Chains A and B, each alone.
Chain A
Amino acid sequence: MNSPVKNWREAKKLHIYPGKKGKIVTWTNVFVAPNGFEHEVPYKVAIVELLDGQRITAQVTDSDRDVEIGQKVIVVIRRIGKQNPDDVIEYGIKVKPL
């Protein structure tokens, strides 16, 4: 079982992120995934630099095509990975191409 407390604590920080814009610093397309992410393979992950200078690491969602260094993206809230059927659902930030 995952930790509902950890989930709760982490979720409190999320509301400031959706809608923030940035660009891709570097990215990779993951074909061999860790547990909980197999159903999303292949998926892209990027280090993104937001307009305010902060860098974040996030999955690039809604993007079947390749992305590029420098590509503009926007932060969205999505489900993260796959939990067990009796676990608390994890929501988190991802980015999608603009």
Chain B
Amino acid sequence: MKIHVAGVGLTRFGELWNKSLEDLAMEAAGQAISDARIDKQKIGAIFVANMLSSKLYGQDHLGAVVTSALGINAAALRVEGACASGGLAVHMAVQSLLSGMYEHVLVVGVEKMTDVLPSLITTALSGAGSEDERRAGLTFPGLYALMARMHMQTYGTTREQMAAVAVKNHFHASLNDRAHFQFEISIEKVLTSPTISNPFTLFDASPISDGAAAVVLSSKPIKKGVVITGSAVATDTIGLDKRKNLTELTATTIAAKKAWKQSGVGVKNIDVMEVHDCFTIAEIMAMEDLGFCAKGEGGRFIESGQTRLGKKLPVNPSGGLKACGHPVGATGIKQIVEIVQQLRGVSGKRQVSGAKVGLTHNVGGTGATVVVHILQK
């Protein structure tokens, strides 16, 4: 059985104050359903990825919220794994098709984050870490900053190398009409903007965004399309203080290994990828943890420029989390949408020429959950 991505949908990411969670979910879902050319009644199950709706707005039961808006009676549920909610929802959808119980399923990732003050978001996001971390007053930037400092101490990774991640991703996003930020920035801008949790400045961090992304996955698509050949999840300790190694996300390495095995491809086959750059250091660690460069070489790898559009191995052509935006529940699915469009050849100014095999890497918390997908034409 092959898992086809039959349809994709994506809203603009940004401060979308006049759109509700439901509006955004329907916009993305509608696009995906129409792209898949199926009748919505044929959808057997819906997987909704979202992290904060319950805590911030008191709205639980999102599976029913979506089926309600679509006007169907399909099976539906919310999937949550912090920032990996999207990737996890895709993984659940893949499993549901492999089980044979469903033939067409919809995955919608949606997040409304700009309706409340940033301080509330900062507080809410720390729910992705451990209780001890919250009690210590740690924020998400703080947690990744702890890892960044260790990476700098252990491997000599520099602030400039971290800034290069943000600069590259902003350049990519400047070519993406769905991105939250569509302007370029300089290394200097990253280094001199206000410190949020040292060594990170404001520009090391992904923004607070609204947005939604959706895919329709089918085992019997109307039209054959891009196929998901690897879907793997791995986890690690919820708190950083229980990790064996603070300079890597071990769960990434474990999930990637499973995905290579499932798909039969390896590092050298990947033409394009979307990785989880919630903070600049995260993309550097991802390059190492996924196996695209040696441990400790991530900084130099980015600095070399080979992960920029037009070069050897473009990473985050969408602009990544940093510049395309990070509506938490939507990100993992947006990554799939971006790779599908790249493999379909419809990415316009951001097209990676001849892309045949792509990878997505979606992380929850400080690497407590990692989801890796491999897609092929």
Contact = CB atoms under 8 A, between A and B. Distances in A.
The reply, when asked whether chain A contacts chain B directly with Cβ atoms under 8 A, is yes
Contacts of B122: 32-35
B126 interface: yes
Contacts of B199: 28
B66 to A, nearest CB: 30
User: Could you say which interface size class chain B belongs to?
Assistant: 20 to 34
B89 to A, nearest CB: 27
A35 B199 CA distance: 22
A30 B137 contact: yes
Nearest to B200: A28
User: Could you say which interface size class chain A belongs to?
Assistant: 20 to 34
17 contacts: A26-B149, A27-B146, A27-B149, A28-B200, A30-B137, A30-B141, A33-B139, A34-B122, A36-B137, A43-B137, A45-B137, A47-B240, A55-B241, A59-B137, A69-B149, A69-B153, A90-B135
Interface in A44-61: 45-47, 55-59
B119 A35 contact: yes
A4 B40 CA distance: 48
A47 B145 CA distance: 11
Nearest to B240: A47
Contact of B239 (A30, A57, A90): A57
A13 to B, nearest CB: 11
A81 B195 CA distance: 21
B216 to A, nearest CB: 37
Interface of B: 119-120, 122-123, 126, 130, 132-139, 141-142, 145-147, 149-150, 153, 194-200, 239-242, 246
A90 B135 CA distance: 9
Contacts of A57: 130, 132-133, 136, 138, 239-241
A74 B142 CA distance: 21
Contacts of A31: 194-198
A56 B197 contact: no
A43 B137 CA distance: 9
A8 interface: no
A87 interface: no
Contact of A28 (B126, B153, B197): B197
Given A26-B146, A35-B119, A45 B194 contact: no
Which 7 A/B pairs are nearest by Cβ-Cβ distance?
Answer: A28-B145, A34-B123, A37-B137, A55-B241, A35-B123, A29-B198, A26-B150
Contact of B198 (A28, A34, A94): A28
A20 to B, nearest CB: 14
Given A27-B146, A69-B153, A32 B141 contact: yes
Given A27-B149, A28-B142, A34 B137 contact: yes
A34 B126 contact: yes
Contacts of A33: 119, 122, 137, 139
Interface string A5-45: 00000000000000000000111111111111110100101
Contact of B146 (A28, A56, A59): A28
A88 B130 CA distance: 21
Nearest to A43: B137
Contacts of B198: 28-29, 31
Nearest to A81: B137
Contact of A30 (B119, B139, B149, B241): B139
A58 B130 CA distance: 12
A77 interface: no
Contacts of A30: 137-139, 141-142, 196-197
Contact of A59 (B136, B141, B145): B136
A80 B149 contact: no
Contact of B135 (A25, A35, A47, A80): A80
